[in-house]
Amino acid sequence: MPELPEVQGLVDFLRGRLVDDAVAAVELASFTVLKTFDPPPQELHGAIVTDVARHGKWIDVDADGTHLVMHLARAGWIRWYDAVPATVARPGKGPIALRVRMASGAGFDLTEAGTKKSVAAYVVRDVSSVEAIATLGPDPLADDFDRDAFAALLSGRRMQIKGLLRDQSVLAGVGNAYSDEVLHVARLSPFAIAGSLSEDDVTRLYEALRSTLRDAAAAASGRPAAELKDAKRAGMRVHGRTGEACPECGDDVREVSFADRSLQYCATCQTGGTPLADRRTSKFLK
């Protein structure tokens, strides 16, 4: 799933190509992708793109005050064209969910791999009318998100820290992959209880959160959209690297599996050398 750094990379990429160009057409190729009906997509036609922004994991294309906002879900992506194919995107079995044509002839497809269709697009006049955006927690890279603000989010919460980092209503933009990375850098168990962390733990976690996301976003910025997925995988320390050597201590990277996802961690760096047990058979380490 694209997370804050990759979404920021896509936003930077699109901003540099869409701003000051006019939307020529929005073509729907999925019956389910568009979640709104007023205003209609046609309201974007002829509008000049003034900005492309990010809200957590959401992409926001602002065209003269009408916003096309998109969420890539687990398997969505942006496919850019310097010259959009002449064929009209129509509902079918392919990966294209939505196509945007620009007056310059350039444009992009919103695509989704697989059969589970979760990618979403909204056309709105006010992005806060999208409930999932209105209820987002603070952006961890915002200038005003300091250590005290982060500590306040953790205080009193009887929630495992891995889950808290992934909760978009608590913190916007972090998902399964970067929560693994942040916790490895912070040397914390994924199942430590947020409200029970020491002051030193909180400071270490805050610094790991900011530095990991900032560095990944910087690495993504300026890359073509087609390169961002591979760049993300190449930059992972533990996520997706089960059985490989931890880059810090050389121990094997371990995994805990769930029904729809898995997490990776280093026992030596994060849990005092004791492997985490599978939730289905025993209690987690704290």
Q: How far apart are the C-alpha atoms of 65 and 91, rounded to whole Å?
A: 28
Q: In the annotation, is 2 catalytic?
A: yes
| CA atoms within 13 Å, Cβ hemisphere of 139 | 18
Residue in 125, 229, 233, 261 annotated catalytic: 261
Please give the single-letter amino acid code of residue 168: Q
When the pLDDT of each residue in the chain is averaged and rounded to a whole number, the result is 94
Residues 6 or more apart whose Cβ sits within 8 Å of residue 236: 177, 180, 181
- Residue among 142, 153, 140, 152 at smallest CA distance from 179: 140
What pLDDT, on a 0 to 100 scale, did the predictor assign at position 278?
A: 60
The answer to whether 212 touches 186, Cβ cutoff 8 Å, is no
Q: In the annotation, is 229 catalytic?
A: no
For every one of its 286 residues, what pLDDT tens digit does the chain have, with 9 covering 90 and above? 799 999 999 999 999 999 999 999 999 999 899 999 999 999 999 999 999 999 999 999 999 999 999 999 999 999 999 999 998 888 877 899 999 999 999 999 999 988 778 999 999 999 999 999 999 999 999 999 999 999 999 999 999 999 999 999 999 999 999 999 999 999 999 999 999 999 999 999 999 999 999 999 999 988 888 899 888 999 999 999 999 999 999 999 999 998 778 999 999 999 999 999 765 444 444 4
Intra-chain end-to-end CA distance of the chain, in Å:
27
Tokens of 269: 């760096």
What pLDDT, on a 0 to 100 scale, did the predictor assign at position 127?
A: 97
Q: In the annotation, is 241 catalytic?
A: no
Q: How far apart are the C-alpha atoms of 33 and 53, rounded to whole Å?
A: 20
Residue in 2, 41, 95, 140 annotated catalytic: 2
The answer to whether 62 touches 49, Cβ cutoff 8 Å, is yes
φ, ψ dihedrals at 22, nearest 5°: -100, 145
Q: In the annotation, is 283 catalytic?
A: no
Residue in 17, 57, 101, 254 annotated catalytic: 57
What pLDDT, on a 0 to 100 scale, did the predictor assign at position 114?
A: 80
Please give the single-letter amino acid code of residue 9: G
The answer to whether 4 touches 56, Cβ cutoff 8 Å, is yes
The answer to whether 136 touches 127, Cβ cutoff 8 Å, is no
Ordered structural domains, the chain, with CATH:
4-134 (3.20.190.10), 147-270 (1.10.8.50)
| Residue 176 C-alpha from the chain's centroid | 9
Secondary structure (3-state) at 118: coil
pLDDT tens digits for range 179-192: 999 999 999 999 99
What pLDDT, on a 0 to 100 scale, did the predictor assign at position 90?
A: 82
What pLDDT, on a 0 to 100 scale, did the predictor assign at position 259?
A: 73
| Residue 139 C-alpha from the chain's centroid | 12
What pLDDT, on a 0 to 100 scale, did the predictor assign at position 241?
A: 96
